[in-house]
Amino acid sequence: MLRHIIALIAGGLFGSGLFLSGMTNTAKVQGWLDVFGDWDPTLAFVMGGAMIPMALAWLVRNRRVTALTGAPLPPPASSEIDRKLVVGSVLFGMGWGLAGLCPGPSIAALSYGGPGLYVFLAAMLTGMLVAPSLLARLDRAVPAE
């Protein structure tokens, strides 16, 4: 039960932060990405501000073995730069630039995002469902070095 309460609080804080910072506003996000046009630098403060609690979380993570709930913490993620990371990053960036949203803000904007948001969510969910089998096919066709 404590795990669910912590998840609810964390999700609420995360969603509220996305909304208040403008990350759910597609025009603002696309303005941030338009560095050669009408660039809006305000989201740099959001991203910079997000790095502070994340850096603190990494420091705490390195000193703890268990979460607040008593569950074991997973090992740190791999820092290896491989084909899966590069392709995923490129696809994420393309989707972010075209739609002006990424998964977190799109869910936070569900109540007011309009029809375009639902198209984005359908495409995102389709990609999540298709990606594992597509990656398996690619690995069979062209093994990673």
Q: What are phi and psi of 110, to 5 degrees?
A: -55, -35
pLDDT number for residue 8: 92
**Both structure tokens of 8:** 């609810």
Per-position b or e across 40-57, b if 16+ CB within 10 A of its CB? beebeebeeeeeeeeeee
Interval 98-137: pLDDT, tens: 888 888 888 878 877 778 888 888 888 998 898 888 888 8
Average pLDDT, the chain: 84
Residue 88 confidence (pLDDT) above 70: yes
What's the rounded Cα separation, in Å, for the pair 72 and 99?
Answer: 37
pLDDT number for residue 67: 84
What's the rounded Cα separation, in Å, for the pair 23 and 28?
Answer: 7
pTM of the model: 0.64
Helix (H, G, I), strand (E, B) or coil at 82: coil
